[in-house]
Chains A and B, each alone.
Chain A
Amino acid sequence: MNFDDTPHEAAFRAEARAWIDANAPKHLLPHLEKAGFGGIELGGLDPMKEAKAWQKKKYDAGWACLHWPKEYGGRGASPIERVIWNQEEGPYGALSGSFIIGHGMCGPTVMDWGPEEAKRELLPRLAAGEDIWCQLFSEPAGGSDLAGLRTKAERDGDGWVINGQKIWTSGAHYSQWGILITRTDPDVLKHKGLTMFFLRMDTPGVRIVPIKQANGQSGFNEVYFDNVRLPDSQRLGGVGEGWKVSLTTLMNERLSIGSGMSAGFPDIFEFCKELELADGTLAINDRGVRSKLAEWACRQSGLKYTGMRAISALSRGENPGPENSIGKLVAGSSLQEIAMFALDLQGQSGAISDPKLAAMTAKFQAQLLRSPATRVEGGTDEILRNIIGERVLGLPDDMRADKGIAFNKIPTA
């Protein structure tokens, strides 16, 4: 039981640290350390330009996509080396937000299922930050029930014609490429009739419409497909194998979204140290406040040490256990509870969302309005509880009305 690196890990850490120290964009550090909800703000500089520059620099020196094989632009590093890199990169990692989906999910899917020629051409560009990728999965009729998707791909000579609509596509508006799951056969069981593709986002017939979110920002999009033609060489995996292919993506998604999430304790703790209550005591000295703070502190540290258990497993060359699946489930609801509690403590001023006027530059107000999405994106709280119940605890599947029925015979609203 210790937190020490092995000699090999220590050497790797020293090398990473030295390179970051010599090459990182230090002028951005004050902004990156303040990064919170709603993207990064770099004092007037273009975040995308700065992100791409940092990514290219890492790529040129062999520090991009550490877990990918070298021939596709990675470093061929071990999982524990990737963790060490992330620790050392620290706040500079916040620059890589737009690449997470491409590097974490799309890239690995293309690597496992794509044609060799495309892999050699596209993956290094993705690793270098020259291209950004998005993931075209969710649909108006298929979110948690992803396999209920309706976007059709039909044979057309040597190629395919796509018609339909995707939704909640993060970053589609600045992506060059996407991976797309479609229905190629509605006459078979819903999981059996799916096929995956990859495509350029400027392919004729693709229309991207940003969604104005409940918090007023726009990170997600609707993407419409109107007779979009794709060659068969842009297929990922076999026809009808789309579900299997998508599982590669989703497994990677849960790993990258859930790891290292903060439950939001440090902010509320800071806030309660300063705020005076009606009876003149500081909030942090109030028994009721303390009880809530203690709960969130335990969740925060519990997630931190759960992550360290997973890292230890990697360090020993083992796969992390299922305990890692709790990260987003715990963090999402904590962030929301904390935001609501902070506003409550602020009294009537809690309604103010102007960063110039509200406490802690309106961090809790932004968190209040953003956190509902955390509990939904990348697997809702309910889907995550199902996963824990079924895959970790071994409980039976839910009762379902679509079992053993061809997709086009499944009841719809």
Chain B
Amino acid sequence: MDFEFSAEQQQLKEQARRYLADKCPTTAVRAILEGSEPFDRALWQGLGEMGFLGAAIPEEYGGLGLGYLELCVIAEELGRALAPVPVSSSIFLVAEILKAAGSEEQKQRWLPRLASGEVIGTLASVEATGSVRPSNVALSAKGGTLTGAKSPVLDGDIADIAIVLARHAPGKDAQGLSLYLVDLNQSGIERTVLDTIDPSRSQAKIAFKDAAAELVGAAGEGWRLYEEALDRAAILTGFEQIGGADKALEMGRDYALQRFAFGRAIGSFQAIKHMLADMYVSATLARSNGYFGAYALSTGSADLAEAAATMRVSSTKAFQHCAKNNIQVHGGMGFTWAMDCHLFYRRSNLLAVSLGGLNEWEDKLIDRLRAKNAA
């Protein structure tokens, strides 16, 4: 048994960590949070040049042709650094959907540019408050054009292309849904930037008015492709969450060592020590579940759907737990704008809903365990 990343994968992780420590200190995250730039363009370009964006894109489409395990370790480091760039939208979702369901022409046309970072992609699915389900997807596809609106769309203000979940046949069922690829730089598109809990990753409302669109995958396959894409993205995003959880735990630990109260380092008080120990437990459970997620993703295992839901629930909770208690360990200082704690708190809660909330993934997990059990 070798339930561990290989030496080469760990080297890649180290390399990504060094690169991000240099190019993406928290001051860079803060610059996006506070400034008018929607994302860190220099970092984005650099990630493309380093090959990090195209790690799991085949060489024939301009990627490095490594595998999912490599993309997982990169994702963890991006999460640790809170990288203010659209990797999850462009790579974990759009590139993955094109790899899985795009036509040869679509792959040739878009994957090399997604891998280099020249083009940013995003997935547009949400139309209403609450979970995305076939009955609340109304954006309509007719004669190769889309009309309707999606909101919020993560990275929707900066994306060049979007894959849109749209209804080609009237009704409320999943069979009437298809995925469409849309060039967002056309006249039928109107975007409005949204205020969100984490401005280090921007979001927008996108209105489509007779916007030209092409099918991705077969008509009527949209919902299945969408759900499968969410599973893969949940594992990759899960690694971002694990990275963020670990970093938040380390910040709390470091502060507990350095901050003195009542004549002692506060980390010597059990109230603080045990809070940090519980954060370590959450982070460890999430990492171990993540290893299985990575294994399932890389082998295309029959357990992929179960592994994705398990990891999603586990890593979402771990990052939220570590980020909120990191503030608690820091006390009043933790609630200042100047300290970085809120950056992690914001990101943990953005990622917790970005692919659908915990309640949806808990439902998926139980459904999948049940299906496996019945099989």
A residues adjacent to B (C-beta < 8 A): 1-5, 9, 269, 273, 284, 287, 290-291, 293-295, 297-299, 301-306, 308-309, 311-313, 315-316, 323, 326, 329-330, 382, 384-386, 388-390, 392-399
Contact = CB atoms under 8 A, between A and B. Distances in A.
B322 interface: no
Contact of A291 (B1, B264, B284, B362): B362
Given A290-B366, A309-B291, A1 B5 contact: yes
A395 B253 CA distance: 7
Contacts, number: 162
B12 to A, nearest CB: 14
B281 A329 contact: yes
Nearest to B365: A294
Nearest to A287: B359
Given A302-B289, A329-B281, 8 more contacts: A294-B361, A298-B285, A298-B365, A312-B3, A316-B2, A386-B273, A393-B267, A395-B272
B277 interface: yes
B interface SS class: helix
Given A311-B3, A389-B277, A390-B273, A294 B292 contact: no
A398 B285 contact: no
B276 A395 contact: yes
Interface string B1-24: 111111000000000000000000
B295 A323 contact: no
Contacts of B287: 323
A298 B313 contact: yes
B285 A306 contact: yes
Given A298-B313, A309-B291, A330-B285, A315 B277 contact: no
B278 interface: yes
B310 interface: yes
Given A303-B285, A305-B288, A312-B2, A297 B277 contact: no
Contacts of A399: 264, 268-269
15 contacts: A1-B6, A1-B69, A4-B2, A287-B359, A295-B313, A295-B317, A302-B286, A306-B284, A308-B291, A315-B1, A385-B277, A386-B277, A393-B267, A395-B268, A399-B269
Nearest to B249: A393
Contact of B289 (A295, A305, A384): A305
B285 A389 contact: no
A294 B365 CA distance: 7
A302 B284 contact: yes
Interface centre among A298, A299, A309, A323 (most CB of B within 10 A): A298
B274 to A, nearest CB: 4
Contacts of B280: 326, 388, 392-393
Contacts of B87: none
Interface residues of B, number: 51
B310 A396 contact: no
A293 B370 CA distance: 12
A301 B292 contact: yes
A290 B358 CA distance: 11
Contacts of A398: 268-270, 273
Interface in B337-375: 358-359, 361-363, 365-366, 369-370, 373
A273 B310 CA distance: 19
B91 interface: no
A248 to B, nearest CB: 24
A312 B288 contact: no
B257 interface: yes
A386 B285 contact: no
B121 to A, nearest CB: 28
A394 B253 contact: yes
A299 B69 contact: no
A88 to B, nearest CB: 14
Contacts of B291: 1, 305, 308-309
B241 interface: no
A385 B363 CA distance: 31
Contacts of A298: 285, 289, 310, 313-314, 317, 365
A268 B133 CA distance: 29
